[in-house]
Structure 1
Amino acid sequence: MELFDTATVLTRVMTSGVVMSIEKSDRELPGLERLLTKRTGRAHAVLVNSRSAAVHAALAGQGIGHGDTVSVPELSPKDAAFLAWLGVEVADEPGPAAFEHIALDAGRAHLLDEQARALRAPALVVDLTGLGFGPAAAVLTDDRTVWARAERLKIFGAYDLRTMWTQEESETDLIPGVQFNYRLSPLVAACARMALSQAVRPLTTGAPS
């Protein structure tokens, strides 16, 4: 990643006057959401500030919580520990995956499209932390209810931004018992978007035929 590219993006965000994700006029978070839905072929994206937050949102979006049992392929030790903290058990026998996951870094960002389209779970966790701009992740899904529940897990998520000034709830059945500070910074979102936009498949070289 060229240094001047990062500086340009940071300057754009800082001079916009919008550096917090609770601002209705923010353009960086929606921009990253659009890019991720386009690249993964999913209809909805929820942006959060860590992989653990994305795992939590992927489960909460499906109504999975304490006392439930899930199947997750290739679960990492950290994810397994977090599920245990949530009180969610992992099934001994394989079954339909509650979510699948992809971890990106600068060398693998170009593989997002290919990897995402090969996965079929109702929720896809994409860990963006490896891109190098701080903890960041997303949950991608085609199910609007999963998206809505996952979004409501965040304090000042999309739903809260609609109602924070009016104090009126339009969908009271989606209100979680507890909300978490899972909001992603527009600065991090802008840099992650830049990295994904610039990701290109490496050229292959070989002897001419």
Structure 2
Amino acid sequence: MDHFDTAVVLGRVLTSGVIMSIERNDRELPALERLLCKTSGRPRVTLVNSVTAGLHSALAGLGLGHGDDVAVPALADAHRRFLAWLGVRAHEGGTPAFAHLSAGPDDAGRLGALLATTAGVPAVVLDLTGLGFGPAAAVLFDDEDAWRRAERLKIFGTFDLRTMWTQTEADDGVGGVQFNYRLSPLVAACVRMALTTRGERA
């Protein structure tokens, strides 16, 4: 994405007045979700603000957490330490509970093919940080309940805080330490533009 594209995206989001992920009128996060669902063929996606948030969300969505032994794909040492901090005993070998992929500037045109390699895996953590707009990740699910649990985790876990105007107790909240893993609309807009413009030019 060149400087002109970036300027257009920044101008559009900043002049919209919607810069928080819990704004009722946000359009950037839903647009990126639709793009990733269409590209992957999976019905649900959770957008988060880092790859560690993505790993945590994938585990929470699948009902895995503290005290569980979990087969994982190859992960960086820092990510394995994060899982250990969560109390998850991660090990390689066997069928991984989730897939982990990274997307960089050269992957936009082949993102669909890249995601197709994960068919049959219940959750996919897609690290979007390499696109160059700050930490960002998406977790793709086939299962509705898994997606709902991941969504609850990123908004503090025990409350269904979909917007700043509604806050109700969640039926199936994720207990324990709570996190704010929400991705900003500004980063979502830049990521979507990077994926679409680079995909068109590939």
Q: What TM-score do the two structures reach when normalised by structure 1?
A: 0.88
2:173 aligns with 174
Instruction: Give the drift of 1:175.
Output: 4.8
Q: Contact between 1:54 and 1:137, CA under 8 Å: does it hold in 2?
A: yes
- Go from structure 1 to structure 2 and tell me whether the alpha carbon gap of 1:66 and 1:137 turns closer, same or farther (over 3 Å shift): same
Partner SS, residue 29 of structure 2: helix
Letter in 1 for 2:197: Q
- The share of aligned pairs that are identical, in percent, is 58
2:90 corresponds in structure 1 to 90
Kept in 2, the 8 Å contact 1:153–1:178? The answer is: no
Write the letter of the residue equivalent to 2:48: V
**Alignment check: 8 A CA contact 2:149 2:172 kept:** no
Mapped to 2, the partners of 1:197 and 1:140 lie a distance apart of: 18
Contact 2:49 2:137 in 1 (8 A): yes
Classify 1:22/1:156 alpha carbon distance in 2 versus 1 (closer, same or farther; 3 Å). farther
Structure 1 residue aligned with 2:197: 198
In structure 2, the partner of 1:23 is: 23
Counterpart of 1:199 in 2: which secondary structure?
Answer: helix
**Residue aligned with 1:110, SS:** helix
Contiguous gaps of at least 5 residues in structure 1: 204-209
Greater CA radius of gyration, 1 or 2? Answer: 1
User: What does residue 102 of structure 1 align with?
Assistant: 101
Partners in 2 of 1:180 and 1:167 — Cα distance? 16
- 2:160–2:167 contact (8 Å) kept in structure 1: no
Tell me if structure 1 keeps the 8 A contact 2:58–2:125: yes
Pair 1:41-2:34 in alignment: no
Number of residue-to-residue matches in the alignment: 200
* Alignment deviations for residues 49-92 of structure 1 (CA, whole Å, 9 cap, x no partner): 00000000000111111110111122221221111111111236
Could you say if the C-alpha distance between residues 8 and 166 of structure 1 is closer, same or farther in structure 2, counting changes exceeding 3 Å?
closer
Residues 152-161 or 1-10, more deviating? 152-161
CA-based RMSD: 2.0
Q: Which residue of 2 is the match for residue 14 of structure 1?
A: 14
Asked whether the equivalents of residues 51 and 127 of structure 2 are also in contact (C-alpha less than 8 Å), the reply is yes
Deviation at 1:156, TM superposition (A): 6.8
Deviations 1:121-160 (A, max 9, x none): 2110000000001100010011011100000001279931
> 2: CA distance between counterparts of 1:166 and 1:114?
39
